[in-house]
Amino acid sequence: MLEIKPEDIEKKSFEILTSKMDENRLKFYTEDELLVVKRTIHTTADFDYQYNVIFQNNALQTLKDCIQSDAMIFTDTNMALSGINKRILTGKFGIEPLCLIADEKTIEFAKKNETTRANAAIDLAYQMHKEKEALTGKKIPIVFAVGNAPTALIRINELLDKYKPDFIIAAPVGFVNVIEAKELVKQSNIPAIICDGNKGGSNVCAAIINAVLLQLAK
């Protein structure tokens, strides 16, 4: 067993995982992007993420701007919500991230409109966002963090004529419609961090946000 202080474990972990990464990929990303990629590997021990993570349309700066501008952040699962570093996001930036998937209104809306809860949660998020902007009288960025439901990304795409999110984390995992849904995000060219291919997950989604939060908290 390695005798190591708890506060040094993360540092040591990052040293080890960096030493195992592909040198070409270490050169491919910017320094700040690399911190995001490394944290997805730290969360999964899966080195495929060094090839999968795509930063689209000035992604990192846009997400940082969103967080620093009181964005509303919606996750598609309670698991992703639970994994987000609230000490920084809520404590430092005053943002309470939200997940509407198990909300009563979402369940009702899904029933009434004969759609899925993941779809309904997107519609309701936009509604909440509109209400908050009306209430405060100012422009509020809206961010979707999707680690599970490709249908959430498909719904975002369907509504693009009416609503355009300021940022998307596109990290659903799986084998049905996942690659296709991520393709829609690429085509939209909305600022986004995308986990290409089948991989992703609620934990990866939270890890991406946390990597950015840690950069902002430095």
Looking at the annotation, which residues are catalytic? Answer: 42
Q: Closer to its own copies by CB, 13 or 127: give it.
A: 13
Q: Is 22 in the site for its own copies (CB under 8 A)?
A: no
Residue 99 DSSP one-character state: E
Q: Where are the beta strands (DSSP E) in 93-185?
A: 98-99, 142-146, 167-170
Alpha-carbon distance of 149 to 173, in angstroms, equals: 8
CB of 195 to its own copies, least distance (A): 10
Contacts with its own copies in 82-141 (CB under 8 A)? 82-83, 116
Only one residue has tokens 């979402």, namely 106
CB of 214 to its own copies, least distance (A): 17
Q: Is residue 159 exposed (0-12), middle (13-18) or buried (19+ Cβ within 10 Å)?
A: middle
Q: Is residue 175 exposed (0-12), middle (13-18) or buried (19+ Cβ within 10 Å)?
A: exposed
CA atoms within 13 A on the CB side of 137: 0
Contacts with its own copies in 149-188 (CB under 8 A)? 151, 154, 173-178, 180-181
CB of 115 to its own copies, least distance (A): 9
Contacts with its own copies in 58-87 (CB under 8 A)? 78-79, 81-83
Binding site for its own copies (CB under 8 A): 1-2, 4, 6, 9, 12-13, 16-17, 42-46, 48, 78-79, 81-83, 116, 151, 154, 173-178, 180-181, 197-203, 206
